[in-house]
Amino acid sequence: MIDGLQTWWLMPLVAGLLLAVSAGPLGSFVVWRRMAFFGDTLAHGALLGITFGVLTDLDPTLALVVGSASLALILLPLQLASRLSADTLLGIVSHGTLAIGLVALSLADGIRVDLMGYLFGDLLAINEGHVYWLLGSTAITLTLVLCFWNSLLAVTVSPELARIEGRPVLLLDLMLILLLAMTVALAMKVVGILLISALLIMPPAAAHALSKGPRQMAAIASVVGIVSVLLGMWASFRWDTPAGPSIVVTAMLLFVVSLTFRRKR
């Protein structure tokens, strides 16, 4: 009985909680920097990683991480060099890479990929290996964010002033983007390509009304994410709804509740 329970809900639950913990601080920086569309772009680009993994028989999770990280490394200099606005450039890259990935998968003869699982997530299908990936990702993310918190915050508030203070602005931006790419890639199995940005921005948005400072907001965002995972998975089992979307719906409801606190303040 215990083994059956572990198979059905323990691994998905641990995976969801680990993702919520790391998405809290990362999502806070996404909200502060107005990078919500950036997360969507990385998620769409990760589909190319899936295609590459399928064609080369590479581990799917590793292929996702490599695909997202590669796109992140391309996007950063592109944004600095392009004369287009950031949202226009991200829109072109986001939808372009998604279309290329779908076309490439359709041309791969004899290869079947669960596109619905990647588009909307398949949390209950997560295995022990993916949990280990999330554990490593969460540990790396929390360690680096805590170590470079002041510098990341300074660059977020004013890149020019941070540069004058001697902080490595470009390296800090690169670190944050790579952490975001890794988290987005691993989150695809939990909430899917189409809902990743929601999991990144809704908990910090809800935490904003309950916090008195940036550090507190990041911590509360993780707590809101954890509550969203717990209640979302409970709702999924209770009413037989998709786990990933159920978690996002719960996060949205928590955000709506937070608006009440904001009005009272």
Exposed/middle/buried for 102, CB within 10 Å: 0-12, 13-18, 19+?
A: middle
The C-alpha atoms of residue 35 and residue 100 are separated, in whole angstroms, by 23
Res. 153: pLDDT tops 80: yes
Mean pLDDT of 124-149: 92
Per-residue model confidence as pLDDT tens digits over 63-106: 888 888 888 888 878 877 777 777 788 888 888 888 887 787 77
Strands (E), the chain: none
The C-alpha atoms of residue 265 and residue 256 are separated, in whole angstroms, by 15
Tokens of 246: 């159920």
Contacts of 264 (CB under 8 A, 6+ apart): none
**Which of helix, strand or coil describes residue 209?**
coil
Res. 265: pLDDT tops 70: no
Q: Of how many residues is the chain composed?
A: 265
Tokens of 6: 């572990």
- CATH 1.10.3470.10 for domain 2-194, yes or no, is yes
The pLDDT score that the predictor gives to residue 4 is 45
Q: Where are the domains of the chain?
A: 2-194
Res. 32: pLDDT tops 80: yes
In contact, 72 and 181? CB cutoff 8 Å: yes
Tokens of 193: 């390509």
The C-alpha atoms of residue 225 and residue 204 are separated, in whole angstroms, by 9
CA atoms within 13 A on the CB side of 105: 19
Mean pLDDT of 177-184: 92
Per-residue model confidence as pLDDT tens digits over 187-246: 888 888 778 888 899 999 999 988 889 999 999 999 999 999 999 999 988 898 888 899
When mean pLDDT is compared over 37-46, 54-63, 67-76, the highest value belongs to 67-76
Question: pTM to 2 decimals?
Answer: 0.89
The pLDDT score that the predictor gives to residue 86 is 72
In contact, 153 and 101? CB cutoff 8 Å: no
Which of 15, 22, 11, 16 has its CA nearest to residue 228? 16
Average pLDDT of the chain?
85
In contact, 185 and 46? CB cutoff 8 Å: yes
The proportion of the chain whose per-residue pLDDT surpasses 90, expressed as a percent, equals: 44
The C-alpha atoms of residue 223 and residue 27 are separated, in whole angstroms, by 12
DSSP code for 13:
H
